[in-house]
Amino acid sequence: MDIDLAPEHAAFRTEVRAFLAAALPAQIRRKMLCGSRLEKEDLAGWQRILHAHGWGAPNWSQDYGGTGWSPVQQVLFDEECARAGAPPQLPFGLKMLAPVLMRFGSEAQRRTLLPDIASGAAWWCQGYSEPGSGSDLASLKTRALRDGDDYIVTGQKTWTTLGQYADWIFCLVRTDVTAKPQQGISFLLIDMRSPGITVRPIITLDGEHEVNEIWFDAVRVPVVNRVGEENQGWTVAKYLLGHERSGIAGVGIVKRDMARLKDIVARADAGGRRLRADALFAVRVAQLEIDLLALEATQLRMLQHAGPPGPESSMLKVLGSELQQRLSELLMHAAGERALPFGLAVGAAGAPATLHQEDQLLGAQYANRRKLSIFGGSNEIQKNILARALGL
Residues tagged active-site: 244
Torsion from C-alpha of 97, 385, 139, 203, nearest 10 degrees = -60
- Residue 130 φ/ψ region, left for φ over 0, alpha for ψ in the -120 to 50 degree band, beta for the rest: beta
CA 146 to chain centre: 33
Residue 224 near residue 108 (C-beta atoms within 8 A): yes
Q: Which residue in 206, 129, 144, 133 sits closest to 175, CA to CA? A: 144
Alpha-carbon span 298 to 291, nearest angstrom: 11
Q: Which amino acid is at 392?
A: L
| Cβ density class 236-275: b for 16+ within 10 Å, e for less | bbebbbbbbbbbbbbbbbbbbbbebbeebbebeeebeeeb
Cα–Cα distance, 186 to 194 (Å, whole number): 19
Q: What angle do CA 20, 21, 22 make, to 5 degrees?
A: 90
Crossing angle of helices 379-389/312-335, nearest 10°?
140
